[in-house]
Amino acid sequence: MLDTPNQEKTQLSELGEFALINRLTSSIKLSNKSTLEGVGDDAAIINHSGYETLVSKDLLVEGVHFDLSYVPLKHLGYKAVVVNISDIYAMNGIPTQIIAGLAVSNRFPVEALEEIYEGMLLACNNYKVDLVGGDTTSSASGMMLSITAIGKVKKGNVVKRSGAKPKDLLVVSGDLGSAYMGLQVLEREKAAFKSNPNLQPELQGHEYVLERQLKPEARKDIIELLKNLKVSPTSMIDISDGLSSEIMHLCKSSDLGCTIYEDKIPMDPQMIRLAEEFGINPITAVLNGGEDYELLFTISMGDYDKIKHNPSLTAIGHMTDSKPIQLITNADQAIELEAQGWKAF
Amino acid sequence: MLDTPNQEKTQLSELGEFALINRLTSSIKLSNKSTLEGVGDDAAIINHSGYETLVSKDLLVEGVHFDLSYVPLKHLGYKAVVVNISDIYAMNGIPTQIIAGLAVSNRFPVEALEEIYEGMLLACNNYKVDLVGGDTTSSASGMMLSITAIGKVKKGNVVKRSGAKPKDLLVVSGDLGSAYMGLQVLEREKAAFKSNPNLQPELQGHEYVLERQLKPEARKDIIELLKNLKVSPTSMIDISDGLSSEIMHLCKSSDLGCTIYEDKIPMDPQMIRLAEEFGINPITAVLNGGEDYELLFTISMGDYDKIKHNPSLTAIGHMTDSKPIQLITNADQAIELEAQGWKAF
């Protein structure tokens, strides 16, 4: 669990609240002019003069969203930040600050919290986001991270879920389904380890899907690319739950239907091979898997020429006046999509 | 636990994520012009044009911050909002939005979540704050609330912890120690109930301290009062952890010492009587108890005349050039204050 297992461990009870907070926040550097005050007062102070402020929150709960038996703590901190700022990019915004809550039971030493912070601050640094405050507390059992991301967007530039028009093209960035297959590999190796603790995990050859699961990135580059290409998405969402749910959200918010095509959907060869190995239809991993953190957006037909040769962007279908919300399979069958969301309860 | 125990209960697993979110958020009404978009997209959109934005977060964890054996869920939701917006008032700001995270195990029915939301929305309504988003998820065990409060403050009007000057007067609003004694009463009745489940809880005569514990209010009125009295605090903090810790924060941030006087500290007679009954020195409840959510602030001596006859405000001491941070007791002894913070680990 700890990246540096031989390091000396400090029990949380040895430090008081204030010493712990000092230790965790001492390496924070601020990089946004809009951050007037960060950690250290009752609230952080932000100046987004001339911009609108975006705010988004995600909770990550141990045993529900992550399993510390195979997720390194630094990766967990990194991912917690990334999944939140991904929501800000999905509004066509620029993330500027995060505020981080961390509840941990006393089974974690101080060094564990420091690794989480290290991961969070690495993500903050990569995306030029300031960690400006938070709350660190104990929990009766388990660990929970609660991240609130704050961003800015110029007036008139926000892209909501609700702006899609009939005939708009549906476009996705990157490829889909890999984060889910990465999770399957980790779960398989965990089960193998449980039945025989002497087994070495077989992770070789699965680097791409594992990285997609353990260290996802938010598509800041796509927001910049669209700006450079002078493409204004009419609606946008990030793919956290699986393509099916996200398409449903766009259609519902925009009050439209859509048709997407299985043969258009970008999938990585490693993901397809693994899906077959696991006896999973790759399209199922794409539709219901989730955690890809790619962007799904709609553009007007007139913008298609600007994106059609870009390897990072793929048109997968188009919006329609009314229902259904359907997928045309490789066998030329039309199937209606269903919302998934979590079913963790 | 549920206010309406005979009501039919809906298992969380019967609803999907999206149906649950719709059910919880359907009664939200927005009251701030600055809330451009609330619940329903990747992020909320806020326009604080001409103002600075304040952001604050608190986590409330079952078994650490609250005990559902005596805290009604509606009160829990109310308190979760109040303790967060209290931080915004403590910066001399006006809270405008909250974003709410809720992690619950499947032992809670949907109706339990609705009661929490009811309490949150009641607080939002009382303080004219908009609930603009959040995350609702399952937990492996127990309940956790994570609230982020967002507020605004006119440029130049923010009051930090760090602005106190030597000789400034230390002032508190309301009275202190009651929330802690309310907790003692609840803990006593819980213990009595455990040893004999036929006992009726003896809560009569303790209404004031119980209300202070179960349904605290943020001192919005004090911020308005100070404005009307044309008093500009030089530094300010809200009393969440106990007077001792909060004074330490002000002194540390302002790089000063202070002297406060036991006989000046405002205490309610019910609190004093109860403290004696429990064998606790009332000043201990004040210094180390916490959860009073009163405001502690400093003003220049020149402002004293403006506040001295106000029953809601009490000067309890003054800032000094340098250490110590001390209390002069009723027996005329000087004792140095110590930081407490949580010791829950």
Partners of B247 on chain A (C-beta within 8 Å) are none
Partners of A41 on chain B (C-beta within 8 Å) are 91, 160-162, 253
Record: contact B137-A61, CB cut-off 8 A: yes
Report CA-CA distances (Å) from A5 to A8, A74, A111, A266: 8, 13, 10, 39
**Tens of pLDDT, residues A153-165:** 998 999 999 999 9
- The answer, yes or no, to whether residue A14 has pLDDT greater than 80, is no
CA distance A59 to B143: 12
Asked if the domains B14-154 and B169-336 are classified in one and the same CATH topology, the answer is no
Report CA-CA distances (Å) from A151 to A88, A92, A95: 6, 10, 4
Record: contact B42-A12, CB cut-off 8 A: no
pLDDT given at position A85: 96
* A87 → chain B, closest CA residue: B42
Record: contact A64-B140, CB cut-off 8 A: yes
The rounded mean pLDDT for chain B is 91
pLDDT given at position B1: 45
B42 touches chain A (CB under 8 A): yes
Strand arrangement of the beta sheet that strand B313-320 belongs to: B235-238, B295-299, B169-173, B313-320, B257-261, B325-328, B334-336
Measure in Å the smallest separation between the Cα of B206 and chain A Cα atoms.
29
**Tens of pLDDT, residues A201-216:** 778 889 999 999 999 9
The rounded mean pLDDT for chain A is 91
Report CA-CA distances (Å) from A153 to A88, A222, A234: 9, 16, 15
pLDDT given at position B344: 37
Domain ranges of chain A: 12-154, 169-336
Partners of A35 on chain B (C-beta within 8 Å) are none
In CATH, the number for domain A169-336 is 3.90.650.10
A63 touches chain B (CB under 8 A): yes
CATH number among 3.30.1330.10, 3.40.50.2000, 3.40.50.300, 1.25.40.80, domain B14-154 = 3.30.1330.10
Q: Which of B51, B53, B86 has the highest number of chain A CBs within 10 A, making it the mutation to test binding with A? A: B53
The ipTM of this complex is 0.89
The CA angle A329-A330-A334, to the nearest 5 degrees, is: 25
What is this structure's pTM? Answer: 0.91
The beta-carbon neighbor of A139 closest among B42, B61, B135 is: B61
Q: Region A167-178: what's the mean pLDDT?
A: 98
Domain A12-154 architecture? 2-Layer Sandwich (3.30)
pLDDT given at position B8: 73
- Among A100-109, A301-310, B205-214, name the one with the lowest average pLDDT: A100-109
Q: Are B319 and B253 in contact (CB under 8 A)?
A: no
pLDDT given at position A38: 87
**Tens of pLDDT, residues A23-35:** 888 878 888 888 9
- The answer, yes or no, to whether residue B341 has pLDDT greater than 60, is no
Q: Region B8-31: what's the mean pLDDT?
A: 79
pLDDT given at position B12: 76
B342 touches chain A (CB under 8 A): yes
**Tens of pLDDT, residues A82-126:** 999 999 999 999 999 999 999 999 889 989 999 999 999 999 999
A83 touches chain B (CB under 8 A): no
Over pLDDT 70: what percentage of chain A? 96
Record: contact B134-A57, CB cut-off 8 A: yes
pLDDT given at position B193: 87
Q: Region B137-149: what's the mean pLDDT?
A: 92
The more confidently predicted of residues A23 and A187 is: A187
The beta-carbon neighbor of B56 closest among A13, A133, A237 is: A133
Residues 300-319 of A with CB under 8 A from B: none
CA distance B263 to B314: 11
pLDDT given at position A345: 42
Pairing of strands B257-261, B325-328: parallel
pLDDT given at position B309: 92
- The answer, yes or no, to whether residue B342 has pLDDT greater than 50, is no
Q: How confident is the model at residue A7 (pLDDT cuts 50, 70, 90)?
A: low
- The answer, yes or no, to whether residue B32 has pLDDT greater than 70, is yes
| A117: exposed, middle or buried (Cβ count in 10 Å: 0-12, 13-18, 19+) | buried
Q: How confident is the model at residue A340 (pLDDT cuts 50, 70, 90)?
A: low
